[in-house]
Amino acid sequence: MANFVPNALYIVEKYGAKLKDIILCSGNEYKGPTEIQTQSGNYKPDIIDLTNRDGKQRLEEIKHAVDEGDTSSLLELIFIPLYGKPNDPLRSDIIVELFEFEIKLVNQGILSKRMAAATMIMANKILSKDLLSKYWEELQMYDAFEIAVEKGIEKGRTDQSRKLLIDLLSETIGFVPPSIMDSVNKISRSDVLDGLFKQAIKCRSVDQFQKSLQIATA
């Protein structure tokens, strides 16, 4: 929790804003401190431990609510992959059921593709690469990102297309090294950016994307 303290206190000191941090804990049950005293002030965020939440039960509750016409809880679907303990043998099955439900909602025009994509990103470290790729394709994210690239090129905003690619990489592989950002920012061809979007969706590591980048820019 100490990692969050400097930024929170800095913002309060600089802007005088009243902030309330919310920290989501997943994987292992959080047993650390809930409050930290510093010379600059007292840091006491709201800590929400997701490890004891029942993802299956909550998914069924949201499904029932949607059937009744209540879509107010759809945002919570993004976080259901984080519910429960990592050694739960049913966790993967629940996430697959969640993906199928979200794709159904997307096809019905009830849920946006970006919200469904956010859920898949949350499950990036839980499901296998092949299974994630299957649902990415079902969601037709390739088309969505290709359209974004085409619009950027048509309007002369290749820099926006590059930014979209880097943003996507930050979600799929985590930290994006400066060397990769520099290489991406030098790309001006729409077909190269288009191909790299598809690779970025599939990649699970920096090295994997680096190989695709080297081939694309050779």
- In tens, the pLDDT along 171-214 reads 788 788 888 888 988 888 877 887 888 788 877 788 888 888 88
Residues found in the chain: 218
**Is 146 found in the same domain as 119?**
no
139, 158, 187 - which closes a domain: 139
Which of the listed residues 105, 139, 173 is the one where a domain comes to its end? 139
Residue 10 is predicted with a pLDDT of 61
State pTM to two decimals: 0.55
Is residue 101 very low, low, confident or very high in pLDDT (cuts 50, 70, 90)?
very high
Query: For the chain, what is the mean pLDDT?
Result: 79
The answer to whether residue 40 scores a pLDDT higher than 70 is no
The tally of domains found in the chain comes to: 3
Asked if 130 and 205 sit in the same domain, the reply is no
| Residue 66 confidence (pLDDT) | 95
Distance (Å, whole) CA 184 – CA 209: 11
Q: pLDDT per residue over 128-142, tens digit each?
A: 778 877 887 777 654
**Residue 119 shares a structural domain with residue 177:** no
Q: Do 169 and 156 share a domain, yes or no?
A: yes
Indicate whether 71 and 126 sit together in one domain: yes
49 band by pLDDT with thresholds 50, 70 and 90: confident
Q: Give me the mean pLDDT over the 78-92 stretch.
A: 86
Look at 19 and 76; give whichever has higher pLDDT.
Answer: 76
86 and 150 fall within a common domain: no
Within this chain, do residues 125 and 146 fall inside the same structural domain, yes or no? no
**Domain match, 116 and 155 both:** no
Nearest to 168 by CA among 138, 144, 192, 137: 144
Q: Please check whether residues 115 and 178 belong to one and the same domain.
A: no
- Please say which residue of 139, 157, 177 terminates a domain: 139
- Same domain assignment for residues 27 and 91: no
- Say yes or no: 146 and 199 in one domain: yes
Q: How confident is the model at residue 98 (pLDDT cuts 50, 70, 90)?
A: very high
Q: Dihedrals φ, ψ of 42, to 5°?
A: -105, 125
pLDDT of residue 142: 43
Instruction: Report percent pLDDT > 70 for the chain.
Output: 79
Q: Distance of CA 212 to CAs 69, 171, 206, Å?
A: 44, 17, 10
As beta bridge partners, residue 25 has 49
Which domain range does residue 16 map to? 2-49
